[in-house]
Amino acid sequence: MISSDVWGMVSQAFKSERRRGLPQGCFLHHIQEYIYKKLESIVLTKQNLWRSTPPAIFPISLGFMGLALAWRNASDVLPIPQEIGDLMLGVSTAFFLFFAVSFVAKIIARPAVVLEDLKVSPARAGVAAFPMAIMLLAAALLPLGVQVPLVWWTGVGVYYIATGLVAWSILKGPPEARMFSPFQYLAFVGPIVGPIAGIPLGYVTASFWLAMAAMIPYIAITLGYGYKLMKVLPPVPLRPSLVIVLAPTSLFALAFGALEIEWAFVLFYWMSVAFAVVMLFFAMWLTKGGFTPIWGSFTFPVATFINLNIYAIGKGMGVVATTGMIAGLLIGTPLIFYVIWMASKLWIKGELAKKTGAAVA
């Protein structure tokens, strides 16, 4: 059973998120409350699940919050209510907070468990995605302005701790663990999430250097894994991980656009478009094996690409950006919700941790 202290942490997280939600009395507020209560009910009835909280849930949390931001940002260029994005942000934030508190409780219960979680590539990516989601949470909270700088700096600091642990586990692991893989984008290129909230917060110089710190591993992983792909293709279950490259590429475009480095924005924007077109063309090949938790690899890259195209409309990219935004919303929204639904079902059954090799506290 979960301890009273841990349950108190979880309960407080849900209560604080409710206070941050939509205005009371509106229709969307009632929907939001219903979803929160359902999640709380799961916590109450499945209390032992926190001990095996899988890091693989955090890339999905990233994608969920990214999609919510996309819908909120899309309301600036499309005739859709902003409340849709606000509702999704409220629910996606609660989704992340629930698993974040559970994961922290798991580590507190047995600190060595995080080292066991780092033994496989998808879990290493998940551990790195946890602080990336904290940085993205700061972007979601920008309109509220409640302790946003603290949230942002927490995400940055925890990310580099996670990166150090990932690097240590790779060096201590077998030689095959040191080979290039798409999961390493999350483990080493994650600081590129920082400028999304960092620049609006006024941390322009810090955001620039976060982008530069991410650029070196981005180039190394892209070239190294690209060379590996020319020799051998990933097995069917790992094919969805190829889509991960779209996330950092799109994020570099967003960062350079916000930093007003126009030539770099244009370069990474068209690279993102090229990657997206190729991946759409090979969609059947990428999904051939059916759903697995690795499908979480689709969520954040697709959400980031949508946000990039919304931003690119304001940069004069015209019909290409508009098409990318609309196609991204139409394809990405049901895809990401499907992944969230399937992963949540697996978690409730206790199977998500087993399928992703998550350690137990």
Q: With b meaning 16 or more CB within 10 Å and e meaning fewer, what string describes 307-332?
A: bbbbbbbeeebeeebbebbeebbeeb
| Residue 159 tokens, joined | 């990310």
The one-letter amino acid at 13: A
**Domain-embedded: residue 220:** yes
**Domain-embedded: residue 214:** yes
- Asked if residues 239 and 289 have their Cβ atoms less than 8 Å apart, the reply is yes
List phi, psi (to 5°) of 331: -90, -45
What is the number of domains present in the chain? 1
Residue 90 CB: number of other CB atoms within 10 A? 24
pLDDT digits (tens, 9 = 90+) for 79-116: 999 999 999 999 999 999 999 998 998 999 888 888 88
**Domain-embedded: residue 361:** no
**Domain-embedded: residue 198:** yes
CATH code of the domain covering residue 77: 1.50.10.150
Per-residue pLDDT of the chain (361 residues; tens, 9 = 90+): 444 454 454 455 445 544 444 555 555 555 556 555 655 555 544 556 778 889 999 999 999 999 999 999 999 999 999 999 999 999 999 999 999 998 998 999 888 888 888 888 888 899 999 999 999 999 988 887 667 899 999 999 999 999 999 999 888 878 877 789 999 999 999 999 999 999 999 999 999 999 999 999 999 999 999 999 999 999 999 999 999 999 999 999 999 999 999 999 999 999 999 999 999 999 999 999 899 999 999 999 999 999 999 999 999 999 999 999 999 999 999 999 999 999 999 988 888 888 888 888 7
Contacts by residues 158-163 (CB-CB < 8 Å, ≥ 24 positions apart): 158/130, 158/131, 158/134, 159/128, 159/131, 159/132, 159/134, 159/135, 159/190, 159/191, 161/131, 162/127, 162/128, 162/130, 162/131, 162/187, 163/128, 163/187, 163/188, 163/190
Q: Which domain holds residue 177?
A: 4-356
First-to-final CA distance of the chain: 12
**Domain-embedded: residue 206:** yes
pLDDT digits (tens, 9 = 90+) for 203-215: 999 999 999 999 9
Taking the C-alpha atoms of residue 90 and residue 23, their distance in angstroms, rounded to an integer, is 12
**Domain-embedded: residue 8:** yes
Residue 243 CB: number of other CB atoms within 10 A? 23
| Residue 243 tokens, joined | 């889509």
